[in-house]
Amino acid sequence: MKKSFLILLPLFLLSGCASYRVRPLPELSISGAHSPFVHNNAVNFAYRVFDRSDCKKYLDRDVISKGYQPIHLTIVNSSNRSVAFSRRNLSLETVDSYVVADTVQTNTVGRVVGYGAAALIMWPFVIPAIVDGVGSAKANERLVMDFLGKSLQDQVIEPNESINGLVFVPIELFKSSFKVTLSDIETSKRIVLASGQHNSAVQSL
């Protein structure tokens, strides 16, 4: 009996572990500003390179250990011009958020199979298997939607508007120095924002 308990103990620990906590991603403050819209006719840029604590806080998963470095970006357009943002114009190679989400999802099949094995020995595990399988699927759905919602997509930043979100860079391709290049919608003028020691940059139009 003791041996059977030791075998089944990890399965007991699985119960209730399939969850995903959604936490909003705040906008980064622009350095030295009381309001994000402080530099007239300029584009303002702030960033934060996530550590594991940030990942657990805002993504509920350690995506760094899975090979992806999240970078939090806030870009504020205080000019009277519309500018375009595209991940392709980031100097670092990025991956789609759904790829990262797929990597860190709860292994629903593995959990159900584990419970199924236990059910062959003790029938009460049949019910936890069903409940946990449904819970894992729902947690994964929340995870995917949250990752998608928090990731930056190609878009136009209108005058006096801002964008805020994450990009994911493969760990092996990450560099602490990078550039974000925007473009004026009407003139196609390039606006280059470079990372620096103050985690912010300003470029006038």
pLDDT in tens, 128-138: 544 445 568 89
* Domain membership flag for residue 34: no
* Domain membership flag for residue 33: no
* Domain membership flag for residue 17: no
**Residue-range definition of the domain harbouring residue 130:** 41-199
Q: How confident is the prediction for the chain on average, in pLDDT?
A: 80
The b-or-e profile of 10-32 (16+ CB within 10 A means b, else e) is: ebeebeeebebeeeebebbebee
* Domain membership flag for residue 71: yes
* Domain membership flag for residue 49: yes
DSSP state at residue 125 = G
21-25, 161-165, 195-199: which range is least confident on average? 195-199
* Of 29 and 116, the one with more pLDDT: 29
* Of 33 and 190, the one with more pLDDT: 190
pLDDT given at position 37: 40
Q: Are 173 and 93 in contact (CB under 8 A)?
A: yes
Strand ranges (E), 80-189: 83-85, 155-157, 161-170, 179-184
The whole-number average pLDDT for the span 81-86 is 96
* Domain membership flag for residue 118: yes
* Domain membership flag for residue 151: yes
Q: Is the pLDDT of residue 49 over 50?
A: yes
DSSP letters for 101-122? HHHHS--HHHHHHHHHHHHTT-
The whole-number average pLDDT for the span 18-41 is 70
* Domain membership flag for residue 102: yes
Number of domains in the chain: 1
